A and B are shown apart, each in its own frame.
Chain A
Amino acid sequence: MDAPAAPADSQWPLWEVFTQEAQGAPHEHAGSVHAVDAEQALQNARDVFGRRGKVISLWVVPTEAIVASAPSDAGPFFDPGAEKAYRHPYFYKVPKGIRVY
């Protein structure tokens, strides 16, 4: 037991898997699989994340194609959104006793 797998026999590219559990629901990140190509990625994703018949649609995306914001950006990157109170309904005053919705 001292022979590790030959270099050529190594893991395949990584794919991120998104599953949809009901018609009209959003696709949500479920996890990842290794696969040689998109077709095999779909099959592996079905076997790993769709064994209970809940999943009705699958997306697979090469992991390296995903661009993510960095955790250290979390403050500055999203701050401008928090400063704009006028984007929220409670910013606007309505005379008492009137139902706006």
Chain B
Amino acid sequence: MYGANVETAADRKAPAPVEDPALLAEFQARIDRGESIEPKDWMPARYRRQLVRMMSQHAHSEIVGMLPEGNWITRAPNLRRKMALIAKVQDEAGHGHYIYCGTETLGVSRDELVDDLLAGRAKYSQIFNYPTLTWADIGVIGWFVDGAAIVNQTVLAKASYGPYARAMIRICKEENFHKRQGFEICAVLSQGTDAQREMLQDAVNRWWWPSLMMFGPSDTDSPNSRDLLAWRIKRFTNDELRQRFVNLTVPQAQAIGVRLPDPDLRYDADTQNWVFGEIDWAEFWAVVNGNGPCNRERLAARNKAHADGAWVRQAATAYAAKRAGAPRDGGSTAAA
């Protein structure tokens, strides 16, 4: 997902397959030469499994990520904001599609992945389990959440698996619009009435720490990091990317006069980093494990949307079958 790539209990239990050392060495050599791995190429089972997990969590995050923002489409303060928000949420649907398609090249069907999500077996970014309470949240999500996504995805665009990297390049081109429209909302509110500035500050206070958590567990607590780095599925550690995000964001916050809710935040001239305080990992794991403020609501909304859309899928299948003059067989393998 946006980086966090959380392992489930089932993942940990899966036995490590034994690979042919010669094939494994040649595979590593290809990665080290900077080659991209394509769907039909030989790859270690663990590489495939890590990718399926990471890509499917990422795809689910795009889809679930439509919900908190979709919540404000009907209440956007004017037509310009409403058009922008609709376009952004539609982009996120597109992002989900790009990545589901990428995952399918690894031999997993989109149906299986959607089933996993709807049944609550899949993970997605914890950030989307927080509520969007005010209009300022929409601005701050674009600024922080899409900003964090850009930091992550820019790096993933050079990942070793070709279909994933290509999906990221496409996505990165669209994310800049997301971040700018969000930052514009924040900048305008920061110039507004006292009430608007307070609303903005309140949203920043609520979203800052969860946004830092988007980069996933600290490096000391990411058992997979070494393999993922060696195989160029990841190119930087979670902590490195988190630091990059903080360094980018602090000056932006200063520019529009909002405070980041961290008393320990300070500039370190030696490392040229903005040093930040301790992240509440108990909160992170609680949300990841299903106990965030909106986990149940999000899953229920996805299930309802899927069920409500069933008649559309059935109608499209029936229509295609009728036009093809074929018998109606339910359509699961309708001839193309």
A-side interface residues toward B, CB under 8 Å? 1-2, 4-5, 7-15, 30-34, 36-38, 40, 47-48, 51-52, 62-65, 68, 70-71
Contact A10:B332 (CB < 8 A) given known A31-B101, A37-B324, A51-B91: yes
Minimum Cβ distance to chain A for residue B116 (Å): 9
Minimum Cβ distance to chain B for residue A74 (Å): 10
> Does A68 lie within 8 Å of B320, measured CB to CB?
no
**CB neighbours of A11 from chain B (8 A):** 109-111, 332
Q: Which of A2, A10, A15, A52 is the one whose CB lies under 8 Å from B111? A: A10
Q: Which of B38, B110, B119, B317 is the one whose CB lies under 8 Å from A4? A: B119
Which of B94, B101, B170, B330 has the most chain A CB atoms closer than 10 A to its own CB? B101
Which of A15, A36, A71 has the most chain B CB atoms closer than 10 A to its own CB? A36
**CB neighbours of B174 from chain A (8 A):** 52
Bound-complex Cα distance A37 to B42 (A): 32
**CB neighbours of B330 from chain A (8 A):** 7-8
Is B167 positioned at the interface, with any CB of A under 8 Å from its CB? yes
Q: Which of B98, B118, B310 is the one whose CB lies under 8 Å from A1? A: B118
Bound-complex Cα distance A15 to B104 (A): 12
> Does A7 lie within 8 Å of B332, measured CB to CB?
yes
**CB neighbours of B268 from chain A (8 A):** none
The chain A residue with its CB closest to the CB of B87 is: A51
Minimum Cβ distance to chain B for residue A32 (Å): 5
Bound-complex Cα distance A42 to B110 (A): 19
Bound-complex Cα distance A64 to B114 (A): 22
> Per-residue 0/1 for B92-122: is the Cβ within 8 Å of any A Cβ (1 yes, 0 no)?
0010011001101000011100110011100
> Does B299 lie within 8 Å of A1, measured CB to CB?
yes
Bound-complex Cα distance A40 to B331 (A): 14
**CB neighbours of A9 from chain B (8 A):** 310, 313-314
Is B90 positioned at the interface, with any CB of A under 8 Å from its CB? yes
> Given contacts A1-B299, A31-B102, A71-B38, could you give 11 more A-B pairs where the C-beta distance is less than 8 Å?
A5-B111, A5-B310, A7-B332, A13-B333, A14-B104, A32-B101, A36-B319, A36-B320, A51-B91, A52-B173, A64-B336
Minimum Cβ distance to chain B for residue A67 (Å): 12
Is B316 positioned at the interface, with any CB of A under 8 Å from its CB? yes
> Does A32 lie within 8 Å of B323, measured CB to CB?
no
**CB neighbours of A32 from chain B (8 A):** 101, 104
**CB neighbours of A30 from chain B (8 A):** 170
Q: Which of A14, A31, A51 is the one whose CB lies under 8 Å from B167? A: A31
The 10 A-B pairs with the shortest beta carbon distances in the complex, nearest first, are: A8-B330, A62-B336, A36-B320, A13-B336, A10-B332, A37-B320, A4-B115, A11-B111, A32-B101, A71-B41
Bound-complex Cα distance A5 to B314 (A): 12
> Does A36 lie within 8 Å of B335, measured CB to CB?
no
Is B334 positioned at the interface, with any CB of A under 8 Å from its CB? yes
Bound-complex Cα distance A65 to B42 (A): 23
**CB neighbours of A51 from chain B (8 A):** 87, 90-91, 94
Minimum Cβ distance to chain A for residue B240 (Å): 29
Minimum Cβ distance to chain B for residue A3 (Å): 8
The chain B residue with its CB closest to the CB of A41 is: B336
Is B33 positioned at the interface, with any CB of A under 8 Å from its CB? no
The chain A residue with its CB closest to the CB of B91 is: A51
